[in-house]
Amino acid sequence: MEILYPMFGMIAVTAVMVLLLYASRIQALSQRAKNPNKIPNEVARHSDEIRKYMSPRNRVITENYNHLFEQPTLFYAVIVYIFLMGNTDTTHIILAWGYVIFRAVHSVYQLTLNQVPLRATIFGIAGAFLLIMIFREAISLLT
């Protein structure tokens, strides 16, 4: 059961980004209401098209939100797999929390300093935690 806690941690990180995304979209829509010519009607119908009219800060929020629905979906699947297979151990729990912590740091870093080389390193460390969990499960299948 303990392996599910990091999964909820990742869900919580994503929930914070959902709130930030909503706030950024409300801001963009309120700017459009104040100045309808700033964002044309045909563009306002599609969220992907609206991004180019958003502030750089709000675009970064959208990008980070999208990132949290890419690799973390594999994390969720691995966590559920480990749980269902009954392979929860201290190492998996540490790796899972490591993944969540580095993904949270990645989000904070992307929303603040956002220097790509360091951000990529943070992303890579999180990915390494995930890959180690996957490799450990692959080894357990083979033995």
pLDDT of residue 62: 87
Res 90 pLDDT > 80: yes
pTM of the model: 0.86
Model confidence pLDDT, tens digit, residues 21-51? 988 878 766 766 566 566 665 555 566 666 6
Task: Tell me the three-class secondary structure of the chain, residue by residue.
Answer: CCCHHHHHHHHHHHHHHHHHHHHHHHHHHHHHHHCCCCCCHHHHCCHHHHHHHCCHHHHHHHHHHHHCCCHHHHHHHHHHHHHHHCCCCHHHHHHHHHHHHHHHHHHHHHHCCCCHHHHHHHHHHHHHHHHHHHHHHHHHHHC
What residue spans define the domains of the chain? 4-142
CATH T-level topology, domain 4-142? Four Helix Bundle (Hemerythrin (Met), subunit A) (1.20.120)
94 vs 48, more confident: 94
Across the chain, what does the average pLDDT equal? 89
pLDDT, average across residues 3-8: 98
pLDDT of residue 117: 96
pLDDT of residue 27: 73
pLDDT, average across residues 77-103: 98
26 vs 106, more confident: 106
